[in-house]
Chain A
Amino acid sequence: MNTWHAQPADLAAYVAGEQDPVLAASLEAHLVRCADCRASLARAGAGERRGSADTERRWAALTEVVDAPSQHHLARLGVSTRPLLGAWLAAVLGLIAVPLVLTMVAGTRLESMVLALAPIAPAVAVVLAYRDSADPAGEISLAAPRAGLRAVSARALVVGAGALPLGVGAALVAGFPVHLALSWLLPGLALSALVLLAGTTRLDPAWVLAVLGSAWALVVGLPGASRRIPAREMAELLATQPVQLTALAVAVLALGLTFTRRERVAYRRSA
C-alpha cells in the first residue's frame, strides 16, 4: 500500500513534459500502483488542456485581428511576390539606365535626341505595366477586390515614383548640366500620367503612347535635328518655368483623373 503521493507540482511538471527524466521514470512507476495519483494526474492534465484551450482561444482572437483584410496595400501589390519584385526592380533599373545610356551615348552634341526620347522611357514602363501579360493571374485578378487594372496602376505608380528621383540623381552624378538633367523629367511624368490615364478608358495605352510620344519627339527633337533651333536652346526652353509648370499641371491632372476613374477601370465596359 502506498504511504506517499506525488506532489501536485511534480505532476504538473510531468504533464507539461518538463520533469527531470529520472524523476519522471520514478513517477511513472508510482503511478502504475497508485490510483489516487492517477486521479491527480488526470486532474492536472485537464488543467493543462484548459490552459491549452485558453491559449488557442486567445491565439484565434489574435489571428482574427492579424488576418483582417486591410484597405491600404497598393504598394504591397507591386512587390508582393518574388517575380513581381523582380519585374519592379528591372523596371526601375531600366528607367534609370535608358535616359542615362542615351545621354552618355548621344553626348551633349545630340541633346535633342535625348530630350526627344528620354521622357518616353518611363511612359513605356507604364504601357508594359498595363499589358495583359503583366498580370500573373489574368482575368482572375479582375474579380478580386483589388482588381487587375487597379493593381497594374498601383505598380506603374510605384515604378514611376521610384524611378524619377533616382533618374535625376543618376543624371546629376553623371555630370550633366542641371537644367538638362531636370528639364525632361516633368514632361516625362506628364507623358507617363497621360498613358496611365489612357488605361482607365477604352483607349489602348500603347497607342496613346505612340501618338503622344511621336508628337513629343517631333516637336522637341525635330527642330534640333534640322538645326532650325539649336538643341541647347530647346533644352533651355524646356527648363523654363512655364513649360515645367504646364507639364506638372498636366501630370497632376492626369494622375487625379486616373485616381477618380480607378473603379471604372476595374468594371470593364467591353470584353
Chain B
Amino acid sequence: MSTTVLTYARVAVSALTKTYGARVAVDEVDLSLGSGIIGVLGPNGAGKTTLLRMLATVLAPDKGTISLNGLDPRVPAERVEIRRRLGFLPQSSELYPNFTPLELVDYVAVLKEHTDRDWRRREATRVLEAVGLADRMHQKIRTLSGGMQQRVALAAALLGDPELLVLDEPATGLDPEQRLELRSLLARSAGRGTVILSTHNTAEVAALCQRVLVMREGRICFTGTPGELRDLADGRVWESGGADATALRSWMTADGTFRHIGDPPAGATHVAATLDDGYLLSGAGR
C-alpha cells in the first residue's frame, strides 16, 4: 500500500487505470496533490471526466489506487467518510425540473446526512446565495437557464463546505460575469481544502489554478504551475505571413497572420508565449 505518499497528499493516486471495452480512458495515472485549486486541461476524450468521476468515488477504477485525505474509496466505510467531505459537480447535471433550487439542494443535503431541517434550510440558502441564485431559489428548475441550472448543481456541491471539491467543467454555460463570480467563489473554497476542476479553457486555469495537469489519451502529459506550462513554449513561438508545415503546431490567427510553435520558420518573428501555446506544445512533443 502506498502510504508514504498518502501521508503528505490530500489526493494521491497510483497507476490508476480505467478502460471501456478496448478503449483505455485513463492509463496508469499517478498523482499527488495538496491543497489549492488544481486545473485539469485536455481535449475531449482525454480522460478528464473519467479521472474526476473516479476521484469523486462515483466510478471504480479497474486498476490502481486512490487515496483521498488518507482514505481509500474501495473500503465502503472509508468511501462514505470521503463522501461526507466531498463536493462533486458532474459534467452533466440532470436535475429534476420540477424541483426548485432550494428543494434540490435540500434533497442533496439529506443525501449528505444532514437531518436537521432548519440547518438544511440555512445551508441551502447560504450556498444558493453564494452562487448568486438567492432571488431564484423558489423558481422551478425547468424555468432557469442552462447557466443557472449549472449554478444550482454547483451550490449542491458546495453544501457543508467540503474539504475536497471535484468540479467537471464548472464554467460550462456561464457567461463572462458568472465566470468571474465562479472564480471568486472557488478561490474562497480553495482556502479550506482542495479544488480539482476540469476545463478546456486555459484562461480559467491562468486565473484560478495554482497547479495544472494536462491530460491526453488517458495519460498526464504535464503537471506543474500555469507559469511552467507557459514556459514550455517560451522561445518557441513565432509569427509569419504564411503557414509552416514543419512546425509542431501552426495556425492562422484572427488578423490573418500565422502563429507557429516549434523551430523558427524563415522570415518569422519571435513572439511571447502564452498559456495556450504551452498547452498545445505539451501534447506535441518537445
Residues of A whose CB lies within 8 Å of any CB of B are: 63, 66-67, 69-71, 73, 76-77, 80-84, 132-133, 135-148, 151, 263, 266-271
Contacts and interface: CB of A to CB of B under 8 A. Distances in A.
A-B CB proximity, top 4 nearest: A136-B96, A144-B111, A143-B88, A69-B113
A230 B84 CA distance: 58
Contacts of B285: none
B110 A139 contact: no
B258 interface: no
Contact of B58 (A70, A132, A143): A143
B79 to A, nearest CB: 7
Nearest to B84: A145
B183 interface: no
A77 B106 CA distance: 11
Contacts of A81: 99, 103, 106-107, 110
A139 B157 CA distance: 11
Given A81-B107, A271-B59, A66 B93 contact: no
Interface string B83-98: 1101111101111101
Nearest to A140: B156
Nearest to A139: B90
A137 B111 contact: yes
A132 B89 CA distance: 17
A96 B105 CA distance: 32
B60 interface: yes
Contacts of B59: 267-268, 271
A142 B56 CA distance: 9
A70 B57 contact: no
Contact of A263 (B76, B89, B112): B76
Given A143-B83, A271-B53, 9 more contacts: A70-B113, A73-B113, A83-B98, A135-B96, A140-B157, A141-B111, A145-B111, A146-B113, A267-B60
Contacts of B106: 80-81
Contact of A267 (B73, B112, B116): B73
A58 to B, nearest CB: 17
B115 interface: yes
A30 B92 CA distance: 68
18 contacts: A66-B116, A67-B116, A69-B84, A81-B107, A83-B96, A136-B96, A137-B107, A138-B92, A139-B58, A139-B94, A143-B83, A144-B83, A144-B111, A145-B80, A267-B58, A267-B60, A268-B60, A271-B20
Interface centre among B84, B93, B108 (most CB of A within 10 A): B108
A146 B110 contact: yes
A70 B111 contact: no
B90 A138 contact: yes
Nearest to A65: B116
B90 A269 contact: no
A263 B99 CA distance: 27
A136 B113 contact: no
A35 B156 CA distance: 55
B57 A145 contact: no
B114 interface: yes
Contacts of A133: 94, 96
Interface string B52-75: 010011111000000000000110
A136 B99 contact: yes
Contacts of A139: 58, 88, 90, 92-94
B8 interface: no
A151 B107 CA distance: 11
